[in-house]
Amino acid sequence: MRDRIDRLVHDARGPLNTIVVNAELAQLLQRSGGNPERLQKALAAIVNESQRCNRILQDFRDELQRETPP
Amino acid sequence: MDKREVALARVLLVDDDTAFLEATADLLGLLGHSVQTAASVAEAREKLAKGHFDRVFLDLMLPDGSGFHLLDHVDTERTRVTIITGHPAVKAQVMNLYGLNVNYLIKPLSLDQLQPLFEPAAAEADDDTALHFGELIGETPVMRDLYDIIERVAGTGANVMLLGESGVGKEMVARAIHNASGRSGPFLATNCGAFSSELIGSELFGHEKGAFTGALARRSGLFEEASGGTLFLDEITEMPLGLQTNLLRVLETRTVTPVGSTTAIAVDARVISATNRSEEELVEHRCMREDLYYRLAVFPLQVPALRERTDDIPLLVRWFLRGLNRENGTHFSVNDADLARLADYDWPGNVRELRHIVHRACIMTKTDAGELRFPERFGSPFSRSKQPEAAPTLVGRTIEDVERQLILETLSLYDNNKTRAAEVLGVSVKTLYNRLGAYEADNERSN
């Protein structure tokens, strides 16, 4: 179980990483009046990666539920 | 920051997560750094071979291999590497294998984690340490003379050949010249000994698609890419003599003809070359064409060895230590007694060896210790092998005494084989036995 949790943490860090970097980028772009299209792209990436992270967590939960008798 | 100004650091980002790669590249670009990206080991290797980076951010899980494979292609003495991983267990592995020049960050990254990593690349002087031309540390007379020469030659555009022992910092001097020159193009460095004779022509002059097996696309060479800037050719004497002819032509015509092409392209790169060999060795070993030497060494410049400027050692040690403390969250200091010991050593490996010693001391000293612990003796295996055995003095000794020592040491060398020893000494075996008998009788009389 410990290994599976470690793997979950590792897998979830990928999309979280992209979310944080895009959020920082969005802040910088907004402050500096940067390219609005680039800002939109960063925000879209945050949304997509949040959904990917959610899928990873959901898959983990489903896997546990399948293995755990009701 | 205006991106058209000189970038603070040259960064290579290696990660197969394209969304992360794009965002991070844009983020670092907004902070003023010059960023290139690679999504695979192969792509990163190609970019590392083509140019120098101040910092590499490296993901370990890449589609065509592990990021660790790339570390063998990075000079971690000159390029800071940060491994980005989602797995904390990597830390111990990284520290054990690569020491303190490779650090790691755990995902997710934030700007607060990234920004401090670039502080050394901003070339800010710490406290009282002046960083001349953004690269060089030292206040001794020989270094001040060097700075004067750099200022004079930098603006002339003349090709410079840097001479000096290994580890004196020839590339840093080349960068200093470039920084002082005000040239708008980039500084690109390459080691002429790093490429096979088949590939070096393509690296320097570029190639056309189909020029040779594997030439899948047209590729610019370093001369084109450094146009308007400076091209540093390290270990110039390792360039095959046949290729030196091509290089000479480029320097004379200021054009390159890519491999497989018939069209010459105008280039405007100032060339700084470097060699560990002395001018006498250049002639003796015939490793450079004379006509090429005159083109490359319009201005030959000797970079002083560290032993010629030992008063700079405290400055250098403190500079290295500040960087290592900052990267690793330590607070080591160095005491005056150790600085004096460091100044006493000969430093055959020069500044590189000094940095290595400081780096090792940081690894060997307990994290909570205040002062660095240096080894009892300094010196690498390379420095010790160069030190000649102390020749025993002959003056003041009798002929019999010297003869006795010669005979006994020769016997010892040949494992007491008297026939072999006699042959080497140029005497008969009978003579040798007679001498040994006399020595034995002397010993008995003394006893």
Can you tell me the mean pLDDT for A52-70? 87
Note the pLDDT of residue B5: 39
End-to-end CA distance of chain A: 19
Q: Residue B429 is part of a domain; what is its CATH number?
A: 1.10.10.60
Kindly state whether residue B245 falls inside one of the protein's structural domains.
yes
Q: In the prediction, which pLDDT does B92 show?
A: 55
Into how many domains does chain B fold? 3
Interface mutation vs chain B, best among A17, A30, A40, A56, most B CBs within 10 Å: A17
Q: Which member of A11, A20, A38 has the closest CB to residue B109?
A: A20
- By Cβ distance, the residue of B26, B87, B108 closest to A19 is B108
Sort out which chain A residues have CB atoms less than 8 A from B17's CB and list them.
14, 17-18
Looking at the fold, whether B161 and B302 belong to one and the same domain comes out as: yes
Question: Last residue of some domain: B278, B306, B334?
Answer: B306
**Same domain, yes or no: B100 and B145:** no
Domain end, chosen from B86, B118, B150, is at: B118
Q: Is A40 helix (H, G, I), strand (E, B) or coil?
A: helix
Residue B253 in any domain: the answer is yes
**3-class secondary-structure state, position B202:** helix
> Can you give the CATH number for the domain in which B167 is found?
3.40.50.300
CB of A20 within 8 Å of any CB in chain B?
yes
Q: Hey, what are B118's tokens?
A: 């670039």
Shared domain check, B185 and B291: yes
CB B177 within 8 A of CB B230: yes
Q: Say if residues B244 and B289 touch (Cβ distance below 8 Å).
A: yes
Which chain B residues contact residue A10 at CB under 8 A?
A: 86-87
Q: Nearest CA of chain B to the CA of A64: how many Å? A: 22
Same domain, B31 and B64: yes
Residues B40, B162, single domain; the answer is: no
**B187 with B230, same domain?**
yes
Q: Which of B65, B87, B118 is the last residue of a domain?
A: B118
Q: Read off the tokens for B354.
A: 């000094």
When scoring B111, B112, B113, B114 by the number of chain A Cβ atoms within 10 A, the one with the most, hence best to mutate, is B111
The answer to whether residue B76 is domain-embedded is yes
B108 in A contact zone (CB under 8 Å): yes
Q: Is residue B338 part of a domain?
A: no
Tell me the chain A residues in contact with residue B84 when contact means C-beta distances shorter than 8 Å: 17
For the cut 80, the answer to whether the pLDDT of residue A49 exceeds it is yes
Residue of B nearest to A41 (CA): B23
In B, minimum Cα distance to A22 occurs at B23
Residues B108 and B201 in one domain: no
State whether B39 and B102 are in the same domain: yes
Contact (Cβ atoms closer than 8 angstroms) between residue A42 and residue B23: yes
Range of the domain at B50: 10-118
A49 and A19 in contact (C-beta within 8 Å)? yes
The verdict on B42 and B146 lying in the same domain is no
Taking an 8 Å cut-off on Cβ atoms, the answer to whether A18 and B106 are in contact is no
Inside any domain, residue B178: yes
A16 to chain B, any CB pair closer than 8 A? The answer is: yes
- Measure CB to CB from residue A28 to each of B19, B27, B108 and give the nearest one: B27
H helices of B192-240, where?
Answer: 197-205, 222-225
Contact criterion met (CB < 8 Å) for B111 and A11: no
A44: which chain B residues are within 8 Å (Cβ-Cβ)?
A: none
Residues B152 and B273 in one domain: yes
Print pLDDT tens along chain B (447 aa). 333 334 568 899 999 888 889 999 998 888 888 899 999 998 998 888 887 888 899 888 888 888 877 887 787 767 888 888 766 556 555 655 565 567 777 777 777 777 777 765 444 444 556 788 888 999 999 999 999 999 999 989 899 999 999 999 999 999 999 988 888 888 888 888 877 777 888 889 988 888 888 778 888 889 998 988 999 999 999 888 888 898 999 999 999 999 889 999 999 999 999 999 887 787 777 788 889 999 999 999 999 999 999 999 999 999 999 888 887 778 888 988 899 999 989 899 999 999 989 988 988 888 777 888 888 877 766 655 444 444 455 677 788 888 888 888 888 777 677 887 887 788 888 888 888 888 877 776 665
Domain-embedded: residue B123: no
Q: Is residue B298 part of a domain?
A: yes
ipTM score for this prediction: 0.81
Flag if B23 and A48 touch (Cβ within 8 Å).
no
Q: Which residues of B touch A16 (CB under 8 A)?
A: 107-108
3-class secondary-structure state, position B219: strand
Å between B89 CA and nearest CA of chain A: 10
Minimum Cα–Cα distance from A33: chain B residue: B30
- The answer on B207 and B163 residing in a single domain is yes
Does residue B261 sit in the same domain as residue B177?
Answer: yes
Q: Which residues contact B2 (CB under 8 A, 6 or more apart)?
A: none
The answer to whether residue B423 sits within a structural domain is yes
Which residues in B144-252 belong to E strands, given as ranges?
160-163, 187-191, 230-234
CATH number of the domain bearing residue B14: 3.40.50.2300
